Structure 1
Amino acid sequence: MVIQTNMTSKAITEVWEETVEVFQKYNVPITEKSLQVLVTENTLQVLLTELNNVVGSSNTTCIEGG
């Protein structure tokens, strides 16, 4: 699974505890709001890249729809 903009920080940290540090680094609160609501567009892509690197996930490791 790739971490995506429609996911919430709370759900992400429940599955991947190691992402808490990334959210703290970018001052993103752990809530039930989606990342696209919590983070500006400029920061969002950087945040997603870092989160996916931390959990070892990328578009090449995942198939569409699965």
Structure 2
Amino acid sequence: MVIQSNMTSKAISVVWEDTLEVFQKYNVPITEKTLQVLVTDNILQVLLTELNNVVGSSHATCIEGG
């Protein structure tokens, strides 16, 4: 699974605890709001890349639909 902008920081951090440090680094609160709502567009791609690196996930390691 790839972490995406329509996921919430709370759901992500529950599944992947290692992401908490990344959220802290970018001052992203752990809430039920989606990442696309919580951060600006210019930070969103950087955040998604770093989160996916932390969990070892990329589009290359995942199949469509799960």
Q: TM-score range by the shorter chain?
A: over 0.9
Determine whether 1:18 maps to 2:37.
no
Which is helix-richer, 1 or 2?
2
TM-score when scaled to structure 2? 0.99
- Structure 2: state its 5+ residue gaps: none
Aligned residues with identical type, % of pairs: 85
- Structure 1: state its 5+ residue gaps: none
Q: Structure 1: which 4+ aligned runs deviate by more than 2 Å? A: none
1:23-46 deviation digits (Å, cap 9, x = unpaired): 000000000000000000000000
- Residue in 2 that maps onto 1:47: 47
What's the CA shift for 1:65?
1.0
TM-score when scaled to structure 1? 0.99
Aligned Cα root-mean-square deviation (Å): 0.3
- Residue in 1 that maps onto 2:36: 36
Determine whether 1:2 maps to 2:7.
no
d(CA) in 2 for partners of 1:26, 1:50: 10
What's the CA shift for 1:64?
1.0
Amino acid at match of 2:14: E
d(CA) in 2 for partners of 1:51, 1:8: 12
Amino acid at match of 2:59: N
